[in-house]
Structure 1
Amino acid sequence: MCRLFIGADPALWESVSRSVRIDGVVTSVRLERFFWDKLGAIAERDGLSVTQLISRLYRESIDAGHDLGNFTSFLRVCCGRFLALQADGDIPPERAISGLDARAILERERRRAAAALHA
């Protein structure tokens, strides 16, 4: 089982720092190359740069009242959710994420989680 993970290209877990401007403030974000690649794939779907995506995620999270004390962890979870939602068929290939019905997707996700608890 572990061969699938340990046999991967070591460059995937190489940490890379990038400077990004969020609301006019330049900050450094350090993530593994794997996550930068996934953020790039997410951003590309909506015609955004990675910096634009990160800034948008930050602003919308703050507007929703989230505490982003560990913003890099939040970005990693966003990448994981993107992959999980793709695997579950909730994010169709090549479709802009901004055009998806987030409420419906979240409701389907809640129903799957509830069904799994009762199985």
Structure 2
Amino acid sequence: MEALVKLSFYCFAAASIAFVSSAVCYFAHSVGRVAVRSTAMATTIGTTVVGRSARLEPGWLGAGRFATLLAWFGVVFQGLSIALRTAAAGHLPLSNMYEFSSTFIFLAGLVYL
């Protein structure tokens, strides 16, 4: 029993790391990059005018895909954590706020994906 609870905590920690990493990757995907372009233009009287323009480029597409993969890992580890906790307790783990929140996070991740 003690080993199942310890393994459940390890799965919960792995799920937490996966969900946080997923959020960071989704942020990197959504923010994108700002590209600044400088142009120099010469006039007929010999002066040079420098113009700058900025535009927003799309984010890195690979970060979004990697974030979704990490979110799936988080859901799987969270499900394993709940299953191991159920096996250790003998009933669905909804008896305290930690167990209820853990189950809610699993269901929210499953609905999102």
Band of TM-score, shorter chain: under 0.3
Report the structure, 1 or 2, having the larger strand content. 2
Highest RCO, 1 vs 2 (Cα 8 Å, sep ≥ 6):
2
Tell me the TM-score normalised to structure 2 length.
Answer: 0.23
Report the structure, 1 or 2, having the larger helix content. 2
Tell me the TM-score normalised to structure 1 length.
Answer: 0.22
User: Which structure has the bigger radius of gyration?
Assistant: 2
